[in-house]
Amino acid sequence: MTLRIGLIGASRIATTAIIAPAAGRSDVQVTAVAARDPERARAYAATHGVPHVAADYASLIARDDVDLVYVGLPPAGHAAWTIAALEAGKPVLCEKPFARDAAEAQAMVEAAGRTGQVLIEAFHYRFHAVMDRALALVRSGALGALQRAHAVFQVPIPKDIDDLRWRADQAGGALMDLGCYPLHILRTLIGAEPEVLSAQGVFDNGVDAAMSASLAFPGGVEAQISCSMIPDAPGAVAVLEGSEGRLEIINFIAPQIGCRVTATIRGETQVLPTDGPTTYEAQLDHVLDVLAGRAAQITGGADAIANMAAIDAIYRAAGRP
């Protein structure tokens, strides 16, 4: 059986997250796309070989040849169109960050429960084998009692009012676009929810160009996260330290383009393997497994609500305008 995917939003991320991994499979087909500008949708479809262009988002959701809706809009549009697709009887893969805030995330998750449809958050890094191995190491107790952690994701993003990441009305900002990753990986690896102790942001017209936060996890684990759209150089690192050892993941976001994972346990350092399919291929594998009943989903639901709640708390602590 072929899974037919409809794209809400003629986005750049959809080409990487959906179109590219689908192209290498016989059991997945991207059948339709819709955009606010129909001309843009037609050009996008022609460029990427998508056979159909829907007149608008509602029309795409209603199509009989769409089995799964991928919501690749700016965060401001996630809740409305995710809920609309769920209520139309379609499962949804929604891009990160899940929503504008925890209240929207809660409404989305409730809609999935009410309709009985699958709703997965597209935290692509989470599905890679690197994360499976890191989680197994932490859960084995090899690091001992966790004590400290930090994670960072920074990418220079030129300021452009047409770029959603620099637009407050589209729920842009460094924390939403980049910082959601370091927050999510620490929550995932530590396996608990943090208290936000403090946060500092660099704001530009209501958008955080950079953000850092100090967190406290249960059991006395001290943690820091940071993100920036205005750094001197890109970087993505996550580190956990325990009473018996230390785990470091360099480029946890996309191991397929270069990654190094080292674990130092009682003074002995080992390099963990980083092989596996791309994060996006692994994500699509997971979606298919969940829809077929072969696996339980590992993003979305309570996890998505909790990540947005922590983001809300960081913004409050930073005094976002």
Predicted pLDDT of residue 222 = 98
State the residue for tokens 């929207």: 104
Predicted pLDDT of residue 1 = 82
Query: In this structure, what token pair is assigned to residue 238?
Result: 């996550």
Predicted pLDDT of residue 260 = 98
User: Region 14-21: what's the mean pLDDT?
Assistant: 98
Q: What is the largest CA-CA distance in the chain?
A: 61
> CA-CA distance, 33 to 31, in Å (whole number)?
7
* pLDDT band for position 229 (cuts 50, 70, 90): very high
User: Region 134-145: what's the mean pLDDT?
Assistant: 98
* pLDDT band for position 33 (cuts 50, 70, 90): very high
Helices (H), 151-267: 174, 180-190
* pLDDT band for position 295 (cuts 50, 70, 90): very high
DSSP E strands: which ranges in 46-178?
A: 52-53, 68-71, 92-95, 119-122, 146-154
**Catalytic residue from among 63, 78, 96, 165:** 96
pLDDT tens digits, residue range 69-100? 999 999 999 999 999 999 999 999 999 999 99
User: Region 161-186: what's the mean pLDDT?
Assistant: 96
* pLDDT band for position 307 (cuts 50, 70, 90): very high
Predicted pLDDT of residue 321 = 82
What is the CB-side half-sphere exposure of residue 72 using CA atoms within 13 A? Answer: 20
Predicted pLDDT of residue 42 = 98
User: Region 248-257: what's the mean pLDDT?
Assistant: 98
Predicted pLDDT of residue 70 = 98
Percentage of residues in the chain having pLDDT higher than 90: 98
Count of Cβ atoms closer than 10 Å to residue 12 Cβ = 10
The DSSP result for 77-97, as a single string, is GHHHHHHHHHHTT--EEEESS
Mean pLDDT of the chain: 97
Relative to beta strand 28-34, strand 52-53 is parallel
Strand partners, 212: 200, 226
Whether 96 sits among the annotated catalytic residues: the reply is yes
Count of Cβ atoms closer than 10 Å to residue 233 Cβ = 7
